[in-house]
Amino acid sequence: MLGKILLYEKSIDNAFESFEKANNIAGCAYCEFLSGNIENAKILLNLVQNASPYINWLIFLTNLVEGNYTNTTYFQVRNFYEQDLELLFFYEQNDKIEKIIQNTEYIANFNREVYKYCARVLLNNGYNKQSEIMLRDSLSICYNDPETHYLMGEVNLAKGNRQEALYQYETAIKVNSGYYPAEQKIKDIISYKKIS
Structural domains in the chain, sorted by start: 1-83 (no CATH), 112-196 (1.25.40.10)
H or E segment at 179?
A: none
**What is the model's pLDDT at position 190?**
84
Give the CA angle between residues 82, 87, 91 to the nearest 5°. Answer: 150
**Residue 114 near residue 101 (C-beta atoms within 8 A):** no
CA separation for the pair 177, 40 (Å, rounded): 49
**Residue 72 near residue 110 (C-beta atoms within 8 A):** yes
CA separation for the pair 43, 1 (Å, rounded): 23
How many Cα atoms occupy the beta-carbon half-sphere of 5 within 13 Å?
3
**What is the model's pLDDT at position 78?**
97
Tell me the average confidence (pLDDT) per consecutive run of 10 residues in the chain, 196 residues long: 87 94 93 92 89 92 95 97 96 95 97 98 97 97 95 96 95 94 92 61
**What is the model's pLDDT at position 32?**
95
**What is the model's pLDDT at position 196?**
46
CA separation for the pair 156, 12 (Å, rounded): 36
**What is the model's pLDDT at position 153?**
97
**What is the model's pLDDT at position 51?**
79
**What is the model's pLDDT at position 194?**
56
**Residue 16 near residue 31 (C-beta atoms within 8 A):** yes
pTM of the entire predicted model? 0.90
